[in-house]
Structure 1
Amino acid sequence: MIELQLVNNEFPKLSICIATYNRGRFIGETLDSILGQMEPGVELVVVDGASPDSTPEVMVQYMARYPEIRYYREQENSGIDRDYDKAVGYARGEYCWLMTDDDLMHSGAIFRVLESLNDNHELVVVNSEVRNVDFSTVLEEGFLKFTDDRVYSSVAGEKFFSEVANYLSFIGGVVIKRSLWQERDRSSYYGTLFIHVGVIFQQPPIVRAKVIAEPLIMIRYGNAMWTPRGFEIWMFKWPELIWSFTDFSNEAKISVCPREPWRRGRLLFFYRAIGGYTITEYRRLLAAGANGMSRAVFFGIAVFPATIANFIAGLYCVFVNRKARTALDSISRSQHASWMSRILAKFL
């Protein structure tokens, strides 16, 4: 690990922590959205997991202009969970905002978060709006459909878990007390891709949490590094993590995600439509767990013509579920999208 720049020895209130890998094309725009609104008592920590692209060159240019940046380039890539854990370890702030490396902060976001930290919450969750890859279209005005800020007296409660856990699949909305993070088990969640969720929902419960209803982040939807692995992640890894929390009822966990979403034919068909589910995924992930008619259905979807599935899924989003704008965006950007699917996306 090489630390390329340090700032003064003061301990800031807030460390904005970014773990990045191969985002040289995007991280500059993210940094611009942050650095233009920096406040006293805020630092920016970037951990680069040995990116082989232009990330180091981009970071050197920014460090020459902004002393608030502390950039750590690792000698090898150790995965997103470990890199965020390292970022919190390198940070010096009382709180850490686990920001993403390709999304954008709205103007005034840092000030708004600092205001919330004055209330001594252990966890602050920041709402986001969802946009397409070039930010030209708003797909969801707010991921969390909250109109007012909410304060929870215990994260262990069913209410917080049911209302917020699904959103927490997005790490960029998490602002957490650094001391709390460090005193909790993190290594058990290396490799889950959601280390922050494991930290938040393990015992003992976080006592005081707040959700900021106003969307302060713009998510660049469809640009995640794990998009090619989306089927495995959302059908297996995410449900396994959510259902591993034994302190919540089955009803609460179902409100976040089904235990085995891959058994739902409609979801399989959607992933077939965007190219995420093929005969390879069927053989590697589903064949052993299915039997009888289910196996036949799962196999049939895996070999169904992807271009036709893409068009059918697009029709569904336009004429049956017009609120499924993010799904339609995925359908229209798929390698299997025809000109008809793209026209449907523009129509909605």
Structure 2
Amino acid sequence: MQLRLSICISTLNRAAFIGETLDTIVAQLRDDIELLVVDGASKDNTAEIVERYATADSRVRYIRLPINSGVDQDYDIAVSHARGEYCWLMTDDDLLKPGAIDRVMVMLDGNVELVVVNTEVRTVDFGGILSSALVATDRNLEYAPEDADRLFVDTALALSFIGCVVIKRNFWLARDRVAYYGSLFIHVGVIFQSQTPCTRVIAEPLITIRYGNAMWTPRGFEIWMFKWPSLVWSFDSVSTMAKACISAREPWRQLRKLWLYRSIGGYALGEYDRYLAECPMPGYKRLISRAIAMVPPGLANAMSSLYCRLFARHARMNIYDLSRSPYASSISRAVARSAGY
């Protein structure tokens, strides 16, 4: 008999976090659900930790790959090995809220192809709330294939977090996945590459995200200035207006974004040389872009934090990023404390 749901986790070197994640999942498993962990050749003791769960519970399966192929391919491998009608693409360091699985299962009636699970975002120690919900809605939502623009505008930013995706396995396997290997957002490519799926959004946040703990955090400039916008603007299934609501086509042209990345330590001369030096831009913008890369990061951090304190108290994730930067100033730490984290 086919299982109803496979919870699929792709992991790499997360021994310090994955046990806490698995605890919140295993406690909610039912006989029609499996938990599948695909390990992309971890070099820490992730295998030892996950194998303990697999030994104790037959509903938990562990697959260790001989080499690391990247997060996109590892999730694709997980879905290919899954036995469930639906696959929940869960992360390896975030937490399910009590009752989350039962809440999702109610939505899986066979007609829906995608369920978007709303999430809250907390600080890395879960002590402070950065966002109470990534999808801003107080009621469950539904989208037909002809609602692609509305689905994209309402959910694309939330969907940048893979853990909110519960997708019908045969829908996933029928789409092009290889084209999105290396994008870091294979799930977004699967969803929006052509006609979008019948979708439901669960309004209630059922996952707690540990913000700032992603394996890709050190690559933030490359990802959010180039990879993410390139993906967003590649989709023919949504309009130009919808895409513009989610990301500028070339956000690296926005000097304020360069300043923010300088403030958090993500943009310096190395990034300028690697990503911007050959990009076409007016001479004055090239000069300013390079100059920003040379501003003392501690000064940039202090000025950005003061700006947030005076004019952008709502920018909670930016405030938190500034306070956790290697160049965090006394101002940034004070602003973060006043925000509650």
Q: Does the CA-based 8 Å contact 2:145-2:195 persist in structure 1?
A: no
The answer to whether structure 1 residue 254 and structure 2 residue 244 are counterparts is yes
Separation of aligned partners in 1, 2:19 and 2:196: 37
Q: Runs (4+) of structure 1 moved beyond 6 Å?
A: none
Q: Give RMSD over aligned pairs.
A: 1.1
Paired residue type of 1:303: M
Out of 211, 229, 232, the position equivalent to 2:219 is 229
Secondary structure of the corresponding residue to residue 94 of structure 1: strand
The answer to whether structure 1 residue 217 and structure 2 residue 231 are counterparts is no
Separation of aligned partners in 2, 1:308 and 1:65: 53
The answer to whether structure 1 residue 50 and structure 2 residue 45 are counterparts is no
Which residue of structure 1 aligns with residue 189 of structure 2?
198
Instruction: Kindly state the Cα deviation for residue 343 of structure 1 after the two structures are TM-superposed.
Output: 1.7
Secondary structure of the corresponding residue to residue 52 of structure 1: coil
The answer to whether structure 1 residue 20 and structure 2 residue 21 are counterparts is no
Out of 98, 113, 126, the position equivalent to 1:122 is 113
Instruction: Please say which of residues 116-125 and 93-102 is displaced more in the overlay.
Output: 116-125
Instruction: Please say which of residues 51-60 and 90-99 is displaced more in the overlay.
Output: 51-60
Separation of aligned partners in 2, 1:109 and 1:249: 33
The answer to whether structure 1 residue 267 and structure 2 residue 267 are counterparts is no
Q: Does the CA-based 8 Å contact 1:166-1:257 persist in structure 2?
A: no
Q: Output the TM-score relative to the length of structure 2.
A: 0.97
Unaligned runs of 5+ in 2: none
Q: Measured at CA, do residues 155 and 231 of structure 1 come closer, stay the same or move farther in structure 2, by a change above 3 Å?
A: farther
Aligned length: 338
Secondary structure of the corresponding residue to residue 14 of structure 2: coil
Out of 315, 319, 324, the position equivalent to 1:324 is 315
Separation of aligned partners in 2, 1:122 and 1:22: 31
Q: Does the CA-based 8 Å contact 1:106-1:217 persist in structure 2?
A: yes
Q: Does the CA-based 8 Å contact 2:91-2:163 persist in structure 1?
A: yes
Separation of aligned partners in 2, 1:187 and 1:246: 18
Which residue of structure 1 aligns with residue 303 of structure 2?
312
Q: Does the CA-based 8 Å contact 2:89-2:165 persist in structure 1?
A: yes
Instruction: Kindly state the Cα deviation for residue 119 of structure 1 after the two structures are TM-superposed.
Output: 6.1
Separation of aligned partners in 2, 1:65 and 1:313: 50
Secondary structure of the corresponding residue to residue 143 of structure 1: coil
Q: Does the CA-based 8 Å contact 2:10-2:37 persist in structure 1?
A: yes
Instruction: Kindly state the Cα deviation for residue 120 of structure 1 after the two structures are TM-superposed.
Output: 2.3
Separation of aligned partners in 1, 2:116 and 2:308: 30
Paired residue type of 1:274: I
Paired residue type of 1:222: G
Q: Output the TM-score relative to the length of structure 1.
A: 0.95
Instruction: Kindly state the Cα deviation for residue 156 of structure 1 after the two structures are TM-superposed.
Output: 5.5
The answer to whether structure 1 residue 281 and structure 2 residue 266 are counterparts is no
Q: Does the CA-based 8 Å contact 1:127-1:214 persist in structure 2?
A: yes
Post-superposition Cα deviations, 1:34-68, rounded to whole Å, max 9, x if no partner, equal 11111231100000000001101111222222221
The answer to whether structure 1 residue 241 and structure 2 residue 231 are counterparts is yes
Separation of aligned partners in 2, 1:175 and 1:155: 20
The answer to whether structure 1 residue 113 and structure 2 residue 104 are counterparts is yes
Separation of aligned partners in 1, 2:147 and 2:62: 35
Q: How does 1:140-179 map to 2 (within 5 A)?
A: 140-154=131-145, 157-179=148-170
Q: How does 1:31-42 map to 2 (within 5 A)?
A: 31-42=22-33
Separation of aligned partners in 1, 2:278 and 2:196: 37
Q: Does the CA-based 8 Å contact 2:196-2:237 persist in structure 1?
A: no
Instruction: Please say which of residues 245-254 and 69-78 is displaced more in the overlay.
Output: 245-254
Separation of aligned partners in 2, 1:40 and 1:57: 24
Secondary structure of the corresponding residue to residue 44 of structure 2: coil
Separation of aligned partners in 2, 1:41 and 1:313: 50
Secondary structure of the corresponding residue to residue 84 of structure 2: coil
Paired residue type of 1:139: L
Separation of aligned partners in 1, 2:236 and 2:173: 22
